[in-house]
Amino acid sequence: MDIAKIEEAVRMILTAVGEDPNREGLLDTPSRVARMYQEIFSGLHSDPKEELSARFNVEHGEMVFVREIPFYSMCEHHLLPFYGHAHVAYLPHNNVVTGLSKLARLVDTVAKRPQVQERMTNQIADALAEELEAEGVMVVIDAEHLCMNMRGIKKPGSKTMTLAVRGRYESDLYMREEVLQLVRYQR
């Protein structure tokens, strides 16, 4: 990432909105924003499939499901955050699974780039389906978008849900409903 260019752009934005980038409270803002962008866009130059490299053989091929994986991403249309939870389910192929933390890392890697929720959901599902050769994959993401909350339509609290299904989850409605019930499950 070109940190100096980001800092220069932030100074230009501050000037363009009528602020003085040299006033005390804003002096370090360009540098802070550049470091923040380096962190929140760190997934731009990463292959999400690499997060699934750890594999294990298990004695069964039952569903693996991790719910409520928190994430933060940036809307590519307004460069405002959207955040929420990803729920990831897959059916192992030949009893081969990946580490549970790898599913969370996969979500983080895909989320850390300018993104739309619909693409993010599909990228997670595709990585699992392709890299693990999973028999079925289902990804549900529910998120709140600040571009809808604080500007434009101004509807705070509204949630967007997206769903991507691959393999057996596409054709087996019972299996799909099983995952949706686990997503809705309340303790």
The radius of gyration of the chain from alpha carbons, rounded to an integer in Å, stands at 19
Active-site residue identified among 38, 77, 133, 177: 77
Q: Which two tokens stand for residue 125?
A: 């599902």
Query: Could you tell me the CA-to-CA distances from 7 to 29, 36, 55 in Å, in that order?
Result: 8, 11, 41
Would residue 75 show up in a list of annotated catalytic residues for this protein? Answer: yes
- Concerning whether 117 is annotated as a catalytic residue, the answer is yes
* Active-site hit among 7, 51, 75, 123: 75
Q: Which of 76, 118, 130, 177 is catalytic?
A: 76
> Could you say which of 51, 115, 117, 123 is catalytic?
117
Query: Is 75 annotated to bind ligand?
Result: yes
Please name which of 103, 109, 94 lies closest in space to residue 139, comparing C-alpha atoms. Answer: 103
Give catalytic status of residue 78 as yes or no.
yes
> H helices of the chain, where?
3-16, 29-40, 100-111, 117-131, 146-149, 168-171, 173-184
Q: Annotated catalytic residue: which of 19, 78, 85, 144? A: 78
Q: Is 60 annotated as a binding residue?
A: no
For the annotated binding site for Zn(2+), the residues are 75, 78, 147
For the annotated binding site, the residues are 75, 78, 147
What residues are labeled active site? 75-78, 117, 145, 147
